[in-house]
Amino acid sequence: MSPADPRENPRAGHPELVEGLKAALPAPLWDAARQAYYAAYRLGQWPAATLHPWRRQSIQRLEALHDRHRGQRAFIIGNGPSLKQTDLSRLRGEVTFGMNRIYLMFPELGFPTSYYLSVNDLVIEQCANDIRALPMPKFLSWRARRFIQPTLDTSFLFTTYTGPKFARDVRQRLWEGATVTYVALQLAFHLGFEQVILIGVDHSFTTQGRPNTTVVSQGDDPDHFHAGYFGKGFRWQLPDLDTSERAYLMARRAYEDAGRQVVDATVGGKLTVFPKVAYDSLF
């Protein structure tokens, strides 16, 4: 999603000046200048994201988790409306990753996910109390420290909006790829999973608008499994599906290069990057 910190968006401070420079410079030179700006900003983030005591503790936890699940399979549960057509009771006993407001499903599901992940600033800010109360290991963006204090079951990830990459070692910097699901794929790789199965990753939204724009929901949420997921009054950012697809392609290549696999078992999902499998065939 779009940068919450205006320093990571060069248009935020002086948009007219920036647009003038973009128009004046040849496209390759403009792109190089923009990438240099982003790289300098990420470099400025590096000391705190590496040396701060809270991050050092997280790095140690992440090191202990490396390859913990080598050879196993995991389910990454998206939050799309297709979950309502998916028999999630079959996931009892499986290793699962839940993201953002997945906990709204826990009462109906009867059990929590194995791991929890959120990197979106707006979700973390508005749901901090809910997230703190979750009982499983939690992985949050380093930016989340503004809202959530570290605990023994919380690890902070150094995630950024820019600098496309696939991190095989999540102690280092991770690119968010415009979707928390991409961060989950990097985390699952670090934990050593042989096969990762996506469900609920519908990759389609009825709400339309310019990608990454922050909007305020005016009523029930049609784009997630729960009407109150981004319910009335909730601030959220419109999806950037093109950037997400670019990220997913990087994830597919990284898994296949390592002899591992990501498959998509989303019921009726629109994502075409990963091989499709029938959900019921997995059990």
Q: Could you tell me the residue ranges of all domains in the chain?
A: 55-282
Nearest alpha carbon to residue 66 among 213, 169, 140 = 169
How many CB atoms lie under 10 A from the CB of residue 183?
A: 26
- Scored b (16 or more CB within 10 A) or e, 218-236 reads eeebebbbbeebbbeebeb
pLDDT in tens, 216-257: 999 999 999 999 999 999 999 999 999 999 999 999 999 999
pLDDT of residue 51: 85
pLDDT of residue 25: 66
pLDDT of residue 1: 45
**DSSP character at residue 275:** P
d(CA 88, CA 156): 28
Nearest alpha carbon to residue 185 among 173, 197, 202 = 197
For the residues of 31-86, what is the DSSP string, one character each? HHHHHHHHHHHHHHHHHHHHHSHHHHHHHHHHHHHTTTTTT-EEEEE--SGGGGGS
Return per-residue pLDDT of the chain as tens, 283 residues: 444 554 455 445 556 665 666 677 676 765 666 566 666 767 677 778 888 999 999 999 999 999 999 999 999 999 999 999 999 999 999 999 999 999 999 999 999 999 999 999 999 999 999 999 999 999 999 999 999 999 999 999 999 999 999 999 999 999 999 999 999 999 999 999 999 999 999 999 999 999 999 999 999 999 999 999 999 999 999 999 999 999 999 999 999 999 999 999 999 999 999 999 999 999 9
CA 60, 140, 242, 17 dihedral sign is: negative
d(CA 206, CA 210): 13
Q: Give the orientation angle of helix 15-24 with respect to helix 27-51, to 10 degrees.
A: 130
Residues in a beta bridge with 154: 138
d(CA 38, CA 45): 11
**Hey, what CATH topology would domain 55-282 get?**
sialyltransferase cstii, chain A (3.90.1480)
pLDDT of residue 46: 72
- Residues written for the chain: 283
The amino acid present at 138, given as its one-letter code, is K
pLDDT of residue 47: 74
pLDDT in tens, 87-99: 999 999 999 999 9
Torsion angles phi and psi, residue 277, rounded to 5: -135, 155
